[in-house]
Amino acid sequence: MTTKKKRNTICFYGVAIVLAVIAMIPFLWMISTSFKSRGALMSIPIEWIPEEPTLDAYIKVFSKFPFAKTIGNSLFISVSYTIITLLSSSMAAFAFAKLRFPGNSLLLRCYLATMMIPTQVTMIPLFVIMNKMGLISSYASVIMPSVFRPFAVFMLVQQMRTIPNDFLDAARIDGANVFQIFGKVALPLCVPSLATLSITTFMESWNDYLWPLLMLTDKDKMTLPIALSTLNGQYATEYNVLMAGSLISMIPIILIYIIAQRQFKDGMMAGGIKG
């Protein structure tokens, strides 16, 4: 490696490290604040490392409301939302990519065109539908929209199109029906994209605030983002308690990403392949 290339490499990594440190500052401040007492929050200069670290904020966040139950509610909704999204979108993507029927291409274009419609536009009609079905204040009202996910279908269609038709024909010759071909041939070849979609869908559902706020009027069914919003008072906010709750809410997403980061990376690369 020449001197010029070494200098460029050093500059590249130097800038990358600086940007990474800047991006990490809010996260580090959140961790530091969660271990501070209320009196140490506004101390000048800022205590990046608390002089007297305490777990009072973590204890208090569980005493203000049934925090553990809200975590369970969010887990149930997010896991159910993710599973239904994966199932419905993968079946739709397989049909669009590998099954030939009249209007296939036109129907796919119309389906994907719905991505241009803002969520806020469909929120009121969807609320009216849920109300007429008697699903207000039920988990089903939050989970059911997962059946219709155009972006998930678009992502999986790209992956499905890369599967050689010879694989499907070989399974068909061996006597496999459409559902067996889908479950035993197509899905295993889409694991990276499914892992990526799982992480992004779980994250979206876990962090969703507005729709659960509209649907879940029962406090016993409120999700974690709604619970955290109650910590932000009108006249005063205990930031150490708020940061402790926010840090706890990030743990499931971080764990899922650590476990599936390789599949996530492969899925992002596979999803960019044009079929």
Average pLDDT value for residue range 217-240: 77
- The two tokens of residue 136 are 């207000």
Per-residue confidence (pLDDT) for residue 39, from 0 to 100: 61
- For residue range 96-115, what is the model confidence (pLDDT) as tens digits? 988 888 888 888 888 888 88
Mention every residue, 6+ apart, whose C-beta is less than 8 A from residue 166: none
Whether residue 33 contacts residue 240, with contact meaning beta carbons closer than 8 Å, is answered with yes
Average pLDDT value for residue range 251-265: 75
- For residue range 171-189, what is the model confidence (pLDDT) as tens digits? 888 888 888 888 888 888 8
- For residue range 82-98, what is the model confidence (pLDDT) as tens digits? 999 999 999 999 999 88
Instruction: Report the alpha-carbon angle 71-74-76, nearest 5.
Output: 110
Per-residue confidence (pLDDT) for residue 227, from 0 to 100: 84
Per-residue confidence (pLDDT) for residue 266, from 0 to 100: 62
- pTM for this predicted structure: 0.80
Per-residue confidence (pLDDT) for residue 87, from 0 to 100: 92
Q: What is the CATH number of domain 66-271?
A: 1.10.3720.10
Q: Is the pLDDT of residue 269 over 60?
A: no
Average pLDDT value for residue range 212-228: 86
For the chain, the structural domain boundaries read 66-271
Q: Determine the number of helices (DSSP H) and then strands (DSSP E) in the chain.
A: 13, 0
| CA nearest neighbour of 78 among 246, 211, 275, 175 | 211
pLDDT category at 270 given cuts 50, 70, 90 is low
pLDDT category at 273 given cuts 50, 70, 90 is very low
- The two tokens of residue 187 are 């899905």
